[in-house]
Amino acid sequence: MADDNKRPDVTDSTVTEFFIEMQQYYLDGNLRAGNNAANIGVNLSPTSGVFGPALSASAGVGPEGMKTGSFTVAVPGQGPAQSVLEFSKRFEQIPGNGLDVKSNVNANIGPMNLYAQREQPNAGSEIDTVGARGSLPFGPGTLEGGASRQFSTGQSPGATNYNMRYDGPLSGGIVGVGGNLMDFGGVTSKSIEGSFRKPLGGGELKLSGAYANPDNEKSRFEAMMRYKMKIPPFGG
């Protein structure tokens, strides 16, 4: 562990950072104060070559008495900058609005991300969401998609959502096509959108279109063509 005598004084500065090296972990953090607000944050991370969870936490007080807090536990994966499993929780309390709590769990398995979220905007109210999303190479481009289901307390029937999108090269340009389907208590909403952009004549041509059928109401369709070109200054 680092020599305690070398630690910076955290009492005389409005912004202070500290870093402590232990046998298998690093501990770092910061303390900020000023403008009627104060915040402290700490991170505990494994050293290079050590497999173990990383932890972070923060707490703060903002203007008009707003209070916040959060903590995260993550198990690192073998890939760059991605956790295999992560749990986080965030608290926010605004005077007069009660306590808002949000919890998240994420699991990365190959190209897939599985997640679960819980939001408690006030006492006795909960909104839960579970889902999966991911992306894979498809032909010359990338195909990505996801599905989720939302549950809530009270009279809300919950919602199920599906989405898919493809982006890739086509005829010297880039094409993107996506769609979304949502079912909210038996009421279905559908949408499809697409775009194509390509360098042309010293500029860029972009075509786009979208179709939507919200809540089984009258369908809407829109299309747009845009050409963008940089014009040199006169006399240049």
Query: Would you list the domain boundaries of the chain?
Result: 1-121, 126-236
pLDDT of amino acid 174: 96
Low-confidence ranges of the chain (pLDDT < 50): 1-13
Closest CA to 47 of 67, 22, 72: 22
The Cα–Cα gap between 63 and 113 comes to 37
Question: Taking the model in full, what pTM does it have?
Answer: 0.73
Residue-wise pLDDT for 97-129, tens only, equals 778 899 999 999 888 999 999 998 776 678 899
Cα–Cα–Cα angle for 150, 154, 157, nearest 5°?
45
pLDDT at residue 8, as a whole number: 40
pLDDT number for residue 235: 59
